[in-house]
Amino acid sequence: MEDHHRESIRLFLRRYQSDPNLLAVLMGGSLAHGYARPDSDIDLLLLVEEGEFARRKSEKKLTFSVLDICTYPGGYIDCKVIDLPFINQVIRNGSDPARYAFQDAEILFSRLDTLPALLAGATAFPVAKKASRRERFAAQVLAWKWYYGEGRKRNNAYLLSLAVQKLVLFSCRLILNENEMLYPFHKWLLRETQKAPHKPLGFDNSLQQLLTEHDQALVNGFCEAMLTFLDLDEVALDWANHFIRDSEMNWLDGEPPVDDL
């Protein structure tokens, strides 16, 4: 974090922290995760009273940008508004991206002594779901290998592009899952996966090959290497039934897409 980021945050707090509805201010985003550039914007989470959150939610004002505070050219502050029930919901059953939003967060201002403990709970990896996720994500890898083949047969550029993206997504999710690391959503997926210590030899290079020079042989070999790494058998996994449940019929139970877990 640069001095101009610190000064901009100081000015933000001077303007807003006297608001009685404001319980805490957290710094997240690239500054918190260590991915910031000198010109990066500032991402803040504003923890407010429940009534204020409800009002903003009804008015569709849960996010806003402050453009007149930053002391550096092009700088701005992105704010997202949350409340305590939101954090508790993340602790109970939040998606990985919802948890990752609190990972590395820095408390800039707080009226709550319990906030550090709440953040620890919100960023905990869902260990109880690790085994089921292994099978569900591996099934997605195999499903999209099949779709890649269909794209080749039909010379369907869209399907090929989508299949490669899904293969990268779910193979990375498998690696993060095995290392008990949270999925950060797409922007930092590859960078977080690069940090994972336990993965197949040459995995990161294989991802780049998939993204730039994919063909059927490369896709097949990549998927086989993933199954070997996970000690999973393709026939026993029965990927088609996992895929139906997670990608075609998930709406029956009100579940989010498996991509977003």
pLDDT tens-digit series, residues 89-144: 999 999 999 999 999 999 999 999 999 999 999 999 999 999 999 999 999 999 99
**Residue 51: strand pairing partners:** none
Residue pair 230/138 in contact (Cβ under 8 Å)? The answer is yes
- Burial of residue 185 (number of CB atoms within 10 Å: 0-12, 13-18, 19+): middle
Closest CA to 79 of 8, 7, 183, 4: 8
Which pTM was predicted?
A: 0.94
User: What tokens were used for 197?
Assistant: 């210590």
The closest alpha carbon to 32, from 123, 119, 106, belongs to 106
At residue 1 the predicted structure's pLDDT band, cuts being 50, 70 and 90, is confident
Tell me the average pLDDT of the chain: 96
> 110 with 23: CB under 8 angstroms?
yes
| Alpha carbon distance 117, 72 (integer Å) | 34
Using an 8 Å Cβ cutoff, are 211 and 164 in contact?
yes
